Amino acid sequence: MGRKTYESIGRPLPNRENIILSKTMDRPLPGTVLYNSINDFTCGIKDHHGPVFIIGGSQIYSSLIHLTQEIFLTFVYKDYDGDAKFPSFETEFRFNKNELITNQFEIRHYVRS
């Protein structure tokens, strides 16, 4: 996750390794691992076992979507002010399934074509 996403959450997420990508942070926060560049991150996770989840923000998504094999995209049925957007991906991924969680949001699953 990016620094701003981490700050919006305010704490490490439980039961997982929390990796922050930030050009401006100089040391990791308690309970996190810090990488200062996409290159450092991709080199650092080569020995990681299991899935890696990219949870935002938009710059992180745009920088890493070329490495992504699956997308779990949450659609919230509400309008919000803001200018951050998820990068275009439809030409490289195909829709697999969706799961309606409540009448307020659903999760759509896409896989790389």
Question: Is the per-residue pLDDT at 20 higher than 90?
Answer: yes
Looking at the structure, tell me whether residues 55 and 85 fall in a common domain: no
Q: Provide the pLDDT for residue 24.
A: 96
Question: Is the per-residue pLDDT at 47 higher than 90?
Answer: no
Looking at the structure, tell me whether residues 79 and 54 fall in a common domain: no
Alpha-carbon distance of 44 to 53, in angstroms, equals 15
- Name 38's Cβ contacts closer than 8 Å, sequence gap at least 6: 21, 63, 64
pTM of the model: 0.85
Looking at the structure, tell me whether residues 40 and 79 fall in a common domain: no
Looking at the structure, tell me whether residues 45 and 61 fall in a common domain: yes
Q: Provide the pLDDT for residue 107.
A: 97
Burial class (CB in 10 A: 0-12, 13-18, 19+), 50: exposed
What total number of domains does the chain contain? Answer: 2
Q: What is the pLDDT of residues 61-99, one digit of tens each?
A: 999 999 999 999 999 999 999 888 899 999 999 999 999
Q: Find out whether 30 and 14 touch, Cβ atoms under 8 Å.
A: no
Domain that holds residue 94: 68-113
- The average confidence (pLDDT) of the chain is 94
Burial class (CB in 10 A: 0-12, 13-18, 19+), 47: exposed
User: Which has the closest alpha carbon to 55: 113, 94, 13?
Assistant: 13
CATH number, domain of 4, equals 3.40.430.10
